Copies of this chain bind each other. A is one copy, B any other.
Amino acid sequence: MTLVRKNIAAMQGYVPGEQPRGREYVKLNTNENPYPCSPAVKAAIGRVCTAGLQRYPDPQATEFRERAAELFQKRLPAITPDWILCGNGSDDVLTIVTRSFVDSGDVIRFPRPSYVLYETLASIQGATAEVVDFEPDWSLGERFTAPNDRLRLALLANPNSPSGTMIPPEAVARLAAALPCPLLVDEAYADFADRDCLSLVADNERVLVSRSLSKSYSLAGLRFGFVVGQPHVIEQLNKVKDSYNCDALSIAGATAALDDQRHFQRNRAAILATRERLAGDLRKLGFECIDSQANFVWCRHPRHAARPLYEQLKAAGVLVRYMSYAGWGDGLRITVGSDDQVGVLLEKLGTLLA
């Protein structure tokens, strides 16, 4: 007999990438940024500590939403703070969106291979996951927009993980228009891409765009993300979020990080340069490697199985992410670290493949 709901008892929990405690690895497995966040973050957090932590935080993270609305005004002229809802990481945003739209017995649709958490979100909600394979060119075909009476939400990581590929905003707009349900465009990696889908939100109330500060602002440890949508939709999502889902430190830290756009741009430029080097050198080692719009590279080697490579790298002190999708295949997802980290990785790989 089980105390919990059957769908919970039956499911496997989501297993995040290894966060080893103890041994120090060259850690290229969970798409963390190798560089520290803006020094303004620590200063802002210090000020909150000095003012005291005994009071509840602003339930609406108003300060952050005001700054984000200013920042995005060029790409989305209609935006005001009420187009934005903040979350305790963008995973919290994904949970809020799922709970808002999807009932037990409904259907959630998303592509394969993509962010593994989507399957978990469906299981927790007691919903059915409808998985649509990417086309060989990493676009999505008509199956992604096909009618289904119980379909309530479609999720699209763009850029996608693990592939690092991106569906152009025009094509995403067409998918959203054809879909019979809301579409959440998960832009956790969009800050590393050439383009993004923010502007689509103005044209279609059924488009939501989520963002994370974990990767591009070096704040994975802080937990801060947000979602952009039309105000009447955000108003509904607001009912579903925990009242105080963002703490006082993360609101202040995230706001300070967003304000330091110079630091952000420098950091981004460094990652993009290293990404090019990493992909080029992987190809020289014989890897098939997709052009990436994110802070990681997805690769497979025609003569070397991915899992033993992952294991040998780990034994050599380098952690990358081995990913395997039932019915689809496997490969290695390698985070774009610092030049030094990538140097160590390439050296170890060179030895292993020699």
Contact = CB atoms under 8 A, between A and B. Distances in A.
A104 B103 contact: yes
A62 interface: yes
B57 A239 contact: no
A88 interface: yes
Contacts of A120: 239
A32 interface: yes
B48 A221 contact: yes
Contact of A242 (B50, B91, B243): B91
B89 A104 contact: no
Q: Is the interface of A mostly helix, strand, loop or mixed?
A: loop
Nearest to A182: B3
Q: How many chain copies does the complex carry?
A: 2
Contacts of A341: none
Given A244-B91, A247-B222, A239 B5 contact: no
A323 interface: no
Contacts of A34: 54
A10 to B, nearest CB: 10
B16 A56 contact: yes
Interface in A225-253: 233, 236-240, 242-250, 253
Interface string A311-331: 000000000000000000000
Contacts of A2: 236
Contacts of A238: 13
Contacts of A248: 221-222
B222 A53 contact: yes
B3 A239 contact: no
A21 interface: yes
A58 B220 contact: no
A124 B340 CA distance: 48
Contact of A55 (B13, B32, B49, B126): B32
B59 A21 contact: no
B104 A223 contact: no
Interface of A: 2-5, 7-9, 11-14, 16-17, 19, 21, 27, 30, 32-37, 41-42, 45-46, 48-50, 52-59, 62, 88-89, 91-92, 95, 99-105, 117, 120, 124, 126, 152, 182, 205-206, 214, 218-223, 233, 236-240, 242-250, 253
19 contacts: A5-B100, A8-B99, A8-B100, A11-B239, A16-B243, A19-B58, A37-B54, A45-B45, A45-B49, A45-B249, A54-B221, A88-B88, A88-B242, A88-B245, A88-B247, A91-B244, A92-B242, A221-B248, A221-B249
